[in-house]
Amino acid sequence: MSGTPDPEVVELATKVFDLARRGETGTLCAYVDAGVPPNLTNDRGDSLVMLAAYHGHAETVEALIARGADADRANDRGQTPLAGAVFKGEDAVVRALLAGGADPAAGTPSAMDTARMFGKAELVELFSTR
């Protein structure tokens, strides 16, 4: 058995990551419901939740978390979906991640650190109550 990935598996994974980036919730969830792992990560450690969060798709984030995806799963650089959503100014995604159990202190930099760095006082206050 070689170390070369099956081209069909790579093609499917690429499609699934693109669905997360585009916020195509229904199609993405059909794949997850059919057996694609909800915590699937790409070659940089970005999870489906991370990609959906970074691109502003709160509904997709909620649906993935409902299917068992980890709201705090950090990528290879230690970044969490919540910190990415704070950085991008995606307030609906921030709320969806918090509702899904995301920890504002997780990751490097954490969502709390990111909120402080960008002067987002309302988020610092929100995170302080968690």
| CATH number of the 7-128 domain | 1.25.40.20
- 48 CB-side CA count, 13 A: 33
Residue 122 has pLDDT above 70, yes or no: yes
Instruction: Lowest mean pLDDT of 7-11, 14-18, 73-77, 101-105, name the range.
Output: 7-11
pLDDT tens-digit readout, 29-45: 999 999 999 999 999 99
Phi and psi for 41 in degrees, rounded to 5?
-125, 155
Phi and psi for 47 in degrees, rounded to 5?
-80, 170
d(CA 115, CA 4) in angstroms, rounded, equals 41
pLDDT tens-digit readout, 37-87: 999 999 999 999 999 999 999 999 999 999 999 999 999 999 999 999 999
Contact 84, 108 (CB under 8 A): no
State the Cα angle at 105 between 61 and 19, rounded to 5°.
Answer: 20
| Residue range 11-34: mean pLDDT, rounded | 96
